[in-house]
Structure 1
Amino acid sequence: MTDARSFSADKYWLKRARVPVQAVDGAAGLTADPDGTALADVRIEEGRIRAVLPAGEAPCCARGVDLAGGAVRPLAANRLAPGEPADLIVDCGPGGRVVLRGGAPDDSGCSLGIACVCTPPGR
């Protein structure tokens, strides 16, 4: 089950998230696939997006969720940019998703546990 406290009260990464490049302000370093998406590491702090980096550039064993290519997109007209609210839709696999408002889940579409996530650089 999703622990809302770990999302809203802390800092974490959404690692290896598939993001729409056109929604990322300053998408330098992100290489878009033919479908217009790229793998990225998204930093969430205190309910806001703090960074969007190419996948594998987040600290190796940082606290977060490895989405393994699951889609992350902004709600409404929000952008994926530093300083923007972490109001996002996170794909958790077939039929599951979590809506984050201010970095905290507002539904229980699937379970995402925040933990120390070690992902190899450049993956």
Structure 2
Amino acid sequence: MNKVGTTSTGNVMVEMTAQEYEALRQLTKPSPSPDPAVTPSAKVMDAKSMSRAERIEYVKPRLMKLSPKKRESVVRSIKAMFQHSGGISQPEVDAMIKALQKTGYFKIATSGKVAYRV
């Protein structure tokens, strides 16, 4: 049996049995549309649905791994962590930094240099 298929570069003709064609069609059949609740974007933490304490706990290990050396870098890092979930406002970032300083997670000098708790 001859079957004609279409590829991104053109048409292709293949000779195969009806059983082979059916098996191939089952393999190449488009999968059902994914459940929106399970899509990769749903796995990203949504900043708006988290409390400030949850956001701080989310940020702590990531900041420790990145260990930005200046306050501006800390701000950029925090904003980047939430960019795929709708972003985070500057006042919220400032509040998170104040809370992290208050708990002793790091200190920021007047020059902007960040010193982490060891």
TM-score range, shorter chain: under 0.3
TM-score (norm. length: structure 1):
0.22
Structure with the largest fraction of helix: 2
Higher CA-based Rg: 2
* Structure of greater relative contact order (alpha carbons < 8 Å, 6+ residues apart): 1
Structure with the largest fraction of strand: 1
